[in-house]
Structure 1
Amino acid sequence: MPKILENPKESILSYAKEIVLTQGIENLTMREVSKKSGIAVGTIYNYFPTKSILTIELIENYWYEYLNIVDDIDKNFDDLFIKLQEIFKQMNFFVDTFKEIWIKNYSSEYTDDGLNRKNVFLDKLYKKLEKILIKEQDKKTIHLSIDPYIIAKFLILNFMMMAQMNQFEYEDFDKIIKDYLSK
Protein backbone atom coordinates (compact mmCIF):
# COMPACT_ATOMS: atom_id res chain seq x y z
CA MET A 1 0.00 0.00 0.00
CA PRO A 2 1.40 3.42 -0.94
CA LYS A 3 2.54 5.74 1.81
CA ILE A 4 0.07 8.59 2.42
CA LEU A 5 1.75 11.82 3.43
CA GLU A 6 -0.10 14.66 5.08
CA ASN A 7 2.11 17.34 3.53
CA PRO A 8 4.43 15.76 0.94
CA LYS A 9 6.06 19.04 -0.12
CA GLU A 10 7.07 19.87 3.47
CA SER A 11 8.27 16.29 4.03
CA ILE A 12 10.44 16.45 0.91
CA LEU A 13 11.88 19.79 2.03
CA SER A 14 12.54 18.44 5.51
CA TYR A 15 14.47 15.43 4.21
CA ALA A 16 16.32 17.56 1.68
CA LYS A 17 17.34 19.96 4.46
CA GLU A 18 18.55 17.03 6.58
CA ILE A 19 20.71 15.79 3.67
CA VAL A 20 22.19 19.26 3.10
CA LEU A 21 22.98 19.74 6.79
CA THR A 22 24.45 16.26 7.37
CA GLN A 23 26.01 15.40 4.00
CA GLY A 24 26.46 18.74 2.25
CA ILE A 25 24.71 20.38 -0.67
CA GLU A 26 26.81 18.39 -3.15
CA ASN A 27 25.09 15.18 -1.97
CA LEU A 28 21.57 16.50 -2.45
CA THR A 29 19.94 14.51 -5.23
CA MET A 30 16.35 13.57 -5.89
CA ARG A 31 17.33 9.92 -5.49
CA GLU A 32 18.95 10.61 -2.11
CA VAL A 33 15.83 12.47 -0.94
CA SER A 34 13.72 9.53 -2.13
CA LYS A 35 15.96 7.04 -0.34
CA LYS A 36 15.93 9.02 2.92
CA SER A 37 12.22 9.81 2.87
CA GLY A 38 10.70 6.73 1.31
CA ILE A 39 8.89 9.03 -1.13
CA ALA A 40 8.98 7.91 -4.76
CA VAL A 41 11.32 9.87 -7.02
CA GLY A 42 8.40 10.62 -9.35
CA THR A 43 6.44 12.16 -6.51
CA ILE A 44 9.42 14.34 -5.62
CA TYR A 45 9.63 15.53 -9.22
CA ASN A 46 5.91 16.38 -9.11
CA TYR A 47 6.65 18.94 -6.40
CA PHE A 48 10.15 19.95 -7.49
CA PRO A 49 10.77 19.44 -11.22
CA THR A 50 14.52 20.11 -10.83
CA LYS A 51 17.15 20.01 -8.12
CA SER A 52 17.61 23.76 -8.62
CA ILE A 53 13.97 24.44 -7.77
CA LEU A 54 14.25 22.23 -4.68
CA THR A 55 17.42 24.04 -3.65
CA ILE A 56 15.87 27.47 -4.18
CA GLU A 57 12.94 26.48 -1.95
CA LEU A 58 15.39 25.23 0.71
CA ILE A 59 17.25 28.53 0.59
CA GLU A 60 14.05 30.55 0.83
CA ASN A 61 12.86 28.46 3.78
CA TYR A 62 16.19 29.08 5.50
CA TRP A 63 15.86 32.81 4.89
CA TYR A 64 12.57 32.90 6.74
CA GLU A 65 13.92 30.69 9.53
CA TYR A 66 16.79 33.17 9.75
CA LEU A 67 14.35 36.04 10.36
CA ASN A 68 13.03 34.10 13.37
CA ILE A 69 16.60 33.45 14.49
CA VAL A 70 17.28 37.20 14.39
CA ASP A 71 14.21 37.76 16.60
CA ASP A 72 15.50 35.14 19.04
CA ILE A 73 18.94 36.74 19.09
CA ASP A 74 17.35 40.10 19.82
CA LYS A 75 15.36 38.63 22.73
CA ASN A 76 18.17 36.51 24.19
CA PHE A 77 21.11 38.92 24.18
CA ASP A 78 21.32 42.32 25.80
CA ASP A 79 24.52 43.66 24.26
CA LEU A 80 24.12 45.02 20.72
CA PHE A 81 27.59 43.90 19.64
CA ILE A 82 26.97 40.34 20.80
CA LYS A 83 23.68 40.43 18.88
CA LEU A 84 25.49 41.57 15.75
CA GLN A 85 28.11 38.86 16.14
CA GLU A 86 25.41 36.20 16.56
CA ILE A 87 23.52 37.51 13.53
CA PHE A 88 26.76 37.26 11.55
CA LYS A 89 27.49 33.72 12.83
CA GLN A 90 24.08 32.52 11.68
CA MET A 91 24.51 34.17 8.28
CA ASN A 92 27.96 32.62 7.99
CA PHE A 93 26.41 29.20 8.68
CA PHE A 94 23.92 29.78 5.86
CA VAL A 95 26.61 30.83 3.41
CA ASP A 96 28.80 27.85 4.36
CA THR A 97 25.85 25.50 3.90
CA PHE A 98 24.81 26.86 0.50
CA LYS A 99 28.18 28.25 -0.66
CA GLU A 100 28.28 26.33 -3.95
CA ILE A 101 24.92 27.65 -4.99
CA TRP A 102 25.41 31.08 -3.48
CA ILE A 103 28.68 31.72 -5.30
CA LYS A 104 27.85 29.97 -8.59
CA ASN A 105 24.32 31.37 -8.63
CA TYR A 106 23.85 28.51 -11.09
CA SER A 107 20.13 28.22 -11.14
CA SER A 108 18.56 29.19 -14.44
CA GLU A 109 15.24 28.77 -12.62
CA TYR A 110 16.16 31.67 -10.34
CA THR A 111 14.15 34.19 -12.30
CA ASP A 112 13.34 37.83 -11.73
CA ASP A 113 10.59 36.60 -9.40
CA GLY A 114 13.19 34.75 -7.34
CA LEU A 115 15.38 37.85 -7.18
CA ASN A 116 12.37 39.91 -6.12
CA ARG A 117 11.62 37.41 -3.34
CA LYS A 118 15.25 37.64 -2.23
CA ASN A 119 15.01 41.44 -2.12
CA VAL A 120 11.77 41.25 -0.11
CA PHE A 121 13.53 38.98 2.38
CA LEU A 122 16.55 41.29 2.60
CA ASP A 123 14.30 44.28 3.19
CA LYS A 124 12.62 42.43 6.07
CA LEU A 125 16.04 41.63 7.49
CA TYR A 126 17.20 45.24 7.17
CA LYS A 127 14.04 46.40 8.97
CA LYS A 128 14.55 43.92 11.82
CA LEU A 129 18.09 45.15 12.34
CA GLU A 130 16.94 48.76 11.97
CA LYS A 131 14.50 48.21 14.88
CA ILE A 132 17.30 46.73 16.98
CA LEU A 133 19.49 49.76 16.24
CA ILE A 134 16.71 52.22 17.06
CA LYS A 135 16.03 50.42 20.34
CA GLU A 136 19.73 50.68 21.24
CA GLN A 137 19.81 54.35 20.33
CA ASP A 138 16.74 54.95 22.51
CA LYS A 139 18.56 53.25 25.39
CA LYS A 140 21.51 55.56 24.65
CA THR A 141 23.93 52.64 24.22
CA ILE A 142 24.83 53.83 20.72
CA HIS A 143 24.75 57.01 18.69
CA LEU A 144 23.40 56.95 15.14
CA SER A 145 24.37 59.85 12.91
CA ILE A 146 23.02 58.14 9.79
CA ASP A 147 19.57 56.69 9.09
CA PRO A 148 19.36 53.37 11.02
CA TYR A 149 17.94 51.60 7.95
CA ILE A 150 21.06 52.54 5.97
CA ILE A 151 23.30 51.32 8.80
CA ALA A 152 21.31 48.06 8.99
CA LYS A 153 21.70 47.57 5.25
CA PHE A 154 25.42 48.33 5.48
CA LEU A 155 25.87 45.80 8.29
CA ILE A 156 23.92 43.00 6.58
CA LEU A 157 25.59 43.47 3.21
CA ASN A 158 29.01 43.47 4.87
CA PHE A 159 28.09 40.34 6.84
CA MET A 160 27.18 38.66 3.56
CA MET A 161 30.43 39.72 1.92
CA MET A 162 32.56 38.64 4.89
CA ALA A 163 30.82 35.27 5.02
CA GLN A 164 31.40 34.68 1.31
CA MET A 165 34.98 35.88 1.06
CA ASN A 166 36.56 34.99 4.42
CA GLN A 167 39.18 37.70 3.89
CA PHE A 168 38.21 40.00 6.74
CA GLU A 169 38.01 38.89 10.35
CA TYR A 170 34.77 39.60 12.18
CA GLU A 171 36.73 40.91 15.16
CA ASP A 172 38.19 43.70 13.01
CA PHE A 173 34.75 44.58 11.67
CA ASP A 174 33.44 44.60 15.25
CA LYS A 175 36.11 47.15 16.24
CA ILE A 176 35.12 49.43 13.37
CA ILE A 177 31.41 49.21 14.19
CA LYS A 178 31.99 49.80 17.90
CA ASP A 179 34.13 52.82 17.11
CA TYR A 180 31.53 54.28 14.76
CA LEU A 181 28.43 53.60 16.88
CA SER A 182 30.04 54.80 20.11
CA LYS A 183 30.75 58.33 18.88
Structure 2
Amino acid sequence: MAKPNVINKRELIHYAKQCLVESGIEKFTLKAVAEKAGVTQGTVYYHFRTKEQILVDIVQDICESSWEEISQVNEGIIKQSLQSAKSRCKEDSFFHKLFFTLMIAGFNNPKIKDHLGDILVNENRALSENLKKVWSKSPVDGVSIDTWGILFNAIIDGLAIQALLNRNFSVDNVYKELEHLFERLSSIQAEEDI
Protein backbone atom coordinates (compact mmCIF):
# COMPACT_ATOMS: atom_id res chain seq x y z
CA MET A 1 0.00 0.00 0.00
CA ALA A 2 1.32 3.45 -0.92
CA LYS A 3 2.29 5.87 1.81
CA PRO A 4 0.54 9.23 1.88
CA ASN A 5 2.43 12.19 0.40
CA VAL A 6 4.41 12.74 3.59
CA ILE A 7 7.73 11.63 2.14
CA ASN A 8 10.28 14.32 1.49
CA LYS A 9 12.81 14.76 -1.30
CA ARG A 10 15.75 13.61 0.82
CA GLU A 11 13.97 10.35 1.71
CA LEU A 12 13.21 9.74 -1.96
CA ILE A 13 16.89 10.27 -2.80
CA HIS A 14 17.72 7.61 -0.19
CA TYR A 15 15.32 5.14 -1.84
CA ALA A 16 16.61 6.09 -5.29
CA LYS A 17 20.17 5.26 -4.20
CA GLN A 18 18.97 1.86 -3.03
CA CYS A 19 17.30 1.27 -6.41
CA LEU A 20 20.49 2.23 -8.24
CA VAL A 21 22.63 -0.09 -6.14
CA GLU A 22 20.21 -2.99 -6.52
CA SER A 23 19.26 -2.60 -10.19
CA GLY A 24 21.97 -0.50 -11.80
CA ILE A 25 21.57 2.67 -13.79
CA GLU A 26 20.33 0.85 -16.89
CA LYS A 27 17.21 -0.44 -15.10
CA PHE A 28 16.67 2.62 -12.92
CA THR A 29 13.20 4.19 -13.23
CA LEU A 30 11.10 6.63 -11.26
CA LYS A 31 8.49 3.86 -10.98
CA ALA A 32 11.09 1.66 -9.23
CA VAL A 33 11.85 4.50 -6.81
CA ALA A 34 8.14 4.88 -6.06
CA GLU A 35 7.80 1.15 -5.42
CA LYS A 36 10.89 1.09 -3.19
CA ALA A 37 9.64 4.09 -1.21
CA GLY A 38 6.07 2.74 -1.01
CA VAL A 39 4.58 5.86 -2.60
CA THR A 40 2.78 6.64 -5.83
CA GLN A 41 4.63 7.62 -8.99
CA GLY A 42 2.89 10.98 -8.70
CA THR A 43 4.68 11.60 -5.41
CA VAL A 44 8.03 10.93 -7.04
CA TYR A 45 7.13 13.15 -10.02
CA TYR A 46 6.13 15.91 -7.60
CA HIS A 47 9.72 16.06 -6.34
CA PHE A 48 11.55 15.01 -9.51
CA ARG A 49 10.25 15.78 -12.99
CA THR A 50 12.67 13.45 -14.77
CA LYS A 51 14.93 10.48 -14.19
CA GLU A 52 17.92 12.68 -14.95
CA GLN A 53 16.91 15.20 -12.28
CA ILE A 54 16.82 12.57 -9.55
CA LEU A 55 20.17 11.15 -10.75
CA VAL A 56 21.79 14.60 -10.62
CA ASP A 57 20.32 15.15 -7.16
CA ILE A 58 21.80 11.82 -6.05
CA VAL A 59 25.26 12.94 -7.23
CA GLN A 60 24.81 16.25 -5.45
CA ASP A 61 23.68 14.53 -2.25
CA ILE A 62 26.70 12.19 -2.26
CA CYS A 63 29.09 15.09 -2.87
CA GLU A 64 27.53 17.29 -0.18
CA SER A 65 27.50 14.46 2.36
CA SER A 66 31.13 13.66 1.63
CA TRP A 67 32.27 17.28 1.96
CA GLU A 68 30.18 17.81 5.09
CA GLU A 69 31.83 14.77 6.68
CA ILE A 70 35.31 15.87 5.64
CA SER A 71 34.79 19.47 6.82
CA GLN A 72 34.27 18.12 10.36
CA VAL A 73 37.87 16.85 10.40
CA ASN A 74 40.39 19.21 12.02
CA GLU A 75 43.61 17.25 11.68
CA GLY A 76 44.72 15.44 8.53
CA ILE A 77 41.95 16.93 6.41
CA ILE A 78 43.75 16.29 3.12
CA LYS A 79 44.62 12.72 4.06
CA GLN A 80 40.95 12.17 5.01
CA SER A 81 39.86 13.72 1.68
CA LEU A 82 42.18 11.40 -0.24
CA GLN A 83 40.93 8.37 1.70
CA SER A 84 37.34 9.36 0.92
CA ALA A 85 38.16 9.74 -2.79
CA LYS A 86 40.10 6.45 -2.80
CA SER A 87 37.13 4.63 -1.28
CA ARG A 88 35.09 5.59 -4.37
CA CYS A 89 37.88 4.76 -6.84
CA LYS A 90 36.94 1.22 -7.84
CA GLU A 91 36.26 -0.73 -10.99
CA ASP A 92 32.58 -0.86 -10.05
CA SER A 93 32.25 2.60 -8.48
CA PHE A 94 28.55 3.40 -8.18
CA PHE A 95 29.23 7.11 -7.72
CA HIS A 96 31.60 7.54 -10.65
CA LYS A 97 29.54 5.43 -13.04
CA LEU A 98 26.59 7.65 -12.20
CA PHE A 99 28.62 10.85 -12.42
CA PHE A 100 30.19 10.03 -15.79
CA THR A 101 26.89 8.76 -17.21
CA LEU A 102 25.27 12.06 -16.26
CA MET A 103 28.23 13.99 -17.62
CA ILE A 104 27.72 12.37 -21.02
CA ALA A 105 23.98 13.10 -20.83
CA GLY A 106 24.89 16.70 -20.04
CA PHE A 107 26.52 17.13 -23.44
CA ASN A 108 23.01 17.14 -24.92
CA ASN A 109 21.04 18.44 -21.94
CA PRO A 110 21.89 21.98 -20.76
CA LYS A 111 20.06 21.54 -17.43
CA ILE A 112 22.12 18.49 -16.50
CA LYS A 113 25.29 20.18 -17.73
CA ASP A 114 24.61 23.31 -15.67
CA HIS A 115 23.72 21.30 -12.56
CA LEU A 116 26.86 19.14 -12.80
CA GLY A 117 28.89 22.27 -13.48
CA ASP A 118 27.57 23.75 -10.23
CA ILE A 119 28.50 20.56 -8.38
CA LEU A 120 32.05 20.76 -9.76
CA VAL A 121 32.34 24.43 -8.78
CA ASN A 122 31.26 23.54 -5.24
CA GLU A 123 33.71 20.62 -5.09
CA ASN A 124 36.53 22.86 -6.34
CA ARG A 125 35.63 25.47 -3.72
CA ALA A 126 35.52 22.85 -0.94
CA LEU A 127 38.92 21.49 -1.98
CA SER A 128 40.40 24.99 -2.09
CA GLU A 129 38.99 25.85 1.35
CA ASN A 130 40.43 22.65 2.79
CA LEU A 131 43.81 23.36 1.21
CA LYS A 132 43.76 26.85 2.76
CA LYS A 133 43.42 25.18 6.17
CA VAL A 134 46.69 23.36 5.48
CA TRP A 135 48.66 25.83 3.36
CA SER A 136 49.12 29.49 4.27
CA LYS A 137 49.98 30.09 0.61
CA SER A 138 50.51 28.06 -2.53
CA PRO A 139 53.63 25.88 -2.52
CA VAL A 140 54.35 26.99 -6.10
CA ASP A 141 54.57 30.67 -7.05
CA GLY A 142 52.12 31.56 -9.78
CA VAL A 143 49.70 28.70 -8.98
CA SER A 144 46.85 29.80 -6.70
CA ILE A 145 45.34 27.58 -4.04
CA ASP A 146 42.07 27.80 -5.98
CA THR A 147 43.84 26.32 -9.00
CA TRP A 148 45.33 23.59 -6.79
CA GLY A 149 41.77 22.71 -5.72
CA ILE A 150 40.69 22.40 -9.35
CA LEU A 151 43.78 20.34 -10.23
CA PHE A 152 43.28 17.92 -7.33
CA ASN A 153 39.61 17.53 -8.26
CA ALA A 154 40.57 16.79 -11.87
CA ILE A 155 43.19 14.28 -10.72
CA ILE A 156 40.64 12.48 -8.52
CA ASP A 157 38.11 12.27 -11.38
CA GLY A 158 40.84 11.14 -13.77
CA LEU A 159 41.91 8.39 -11.39
CA ALA A 160 38.28 7.26 -11.18
CA ILE A 161 38.20 6.90 -14.97
CA GLN A 162 41.38 4.83 -14.81
CA ALA A 163 39.85 2.56 -12.15
CA LEU A 164 36.59 2.14 -14.07
CA LEU A 165 38.29 1.21 -17.34
CA ASN A 166 41.51 -0.55 -16.34
CA ARG A 167 41.16 -3.75 -14.29
CA ASN A 168 44.87 -3.68 -13.50
CA PHE A 169 44.89 -0.10 -12.24
CA SER A 170 46.69 0.03 -8.89
CA VAL A 171 44.48 2.32 -6.83
CA ASP A 172 46.49 1.74 -3.65
CA ASN A 173 49.83 2.60 -5.28
CA VAL A 174 48.56 5.67 -7.08
CA TYR A 175 46.81 7.08 -4.02
CA LYS A 176 49.88 6.39 -1.89
CA GLU A 177 51.96 8.38 -4.38
CA LEU A 178 49.31 11.12 -4.60
CA GLU A 179 49.45 11.44 -0.83
CA HIS A 180 53.25 11.62 -1.08
CA LEU A 181 52.92 14.38 -3.70
CA PHE A 182 50.65 16.35 -1.40
CA GLU A 183 53.02 15.86 1.55
CA ARG A 184 55.94 17.04 -0.60
CA LEU A 185 54.01 20.13 -1.73
CA SER A 186 53.12 20.82 1.90
CA SER A 187 56.74 20.53 2.99
CA ILE A 188 57.78 22.96 0.24
CA GLN A 189 55.14 25.38 1.46
CA ALA A 190 56.26 24.94 5.09
CA GLU A 191 59.92 25.54 4.16
CA GLU A 192 58.97 28.81 2.48
CA ASP A 193 57.13 29.92 5.65
CA ILE A 194 60.34 29.58 7.70
TM interval, short-chain normalised = 0.7 to 0.9
Against the structure 1 CA distance between its residues 100 and 84, is the aligned structure 2 distance closer, same or farther, given a 3 Å change threshold?
closer
Q: Which residues of 2 match residues 30-45 of structure 1 at below 5 A? A: 30-45=30-45
Against the structure 1 CA distance between its residues 8 and 175, is the aligned structure 2 distance closer, same or farther, given a 3 Å change threshold?
closer
| TM-score, with structure 2 as normaliser | 0.70
TM-superposed deviation, 1:115: 4.2
Between the aligned partners of 1:152 and 1:145, the Cα distance in structure 2 is: 13
1:170 aligns with 2:192: no
Between the aligned partners of 2:185 and 2:128, the Cα distance in structure 1 is: 20
AA of the residue aligned to 1:71: S
Between the aligned partners of 2:156 and 2:38, the Cα distance in structure 1 is: 38
Contact 2:34 2:44 in 1 (8 A): yes
- Alignment root-mean-square deviation, CA: 3.1
The count of aligned residue pairs is 173
Against the structure 1 CA distance between its residues 115 and 103, is the aligned structure 2 distance closer, same or farther, given a 3 Å change threshold?
closer
Q: Which residue of 1 aligns with 2:93?
A: 96
> Any idea what the Cα deviations from partners look like across 1:143-165, whole Å, max 9, x if unmatched?
82343333232222211211222
Between the aligned partners of 2:187 and 2:123, the Cα distance in structure 1 is: 26
Contact 2:59 2:98 in 1 (8 A): no
Against the structure 1 CA distance between its residues 8 and 127, is the aligned structure 2 distance closer, same or farther, given a 3 Å change threshold?
same
TM-superposed deviation, 1:110: 4.8
Q: Which residue of 2 aligns with 1:46?
A: 46
Structure 1 runs of 4+ with >6 Å offset: none
TM-superposed deviation, 1:23: 4.7
Structure 2: 5+ residue stretches without partners: 164-168, 189-194
AA of the residue aligned to 1:106: A
Q: Which residue of 2 aligns with 1:83?
A: 80
Q: Which residue of 2 aligns with 1:55?
A: 55
| TM-score, with structure 1 as normaliser | 0.74
Between the aligned partners of 2:25 and 2:154, the Cα distance in structure 1 is: 23
Q: Which residue of 1 aligns with 2:148?
A: 151
Residue 139 of structure 2 aligns to a residue whose secondary structure is coil
AA of the residue aligned to 1:179: R
Residue 98 of structure 1 aligns to a residue whose secondary structure is helix
Contact 2:15 2:37 in 1 (8 A): yes
Q: Which residue of 1 aligns with 2:19?
A: 19
Structure 1: 5+ residue stretches without partners: none
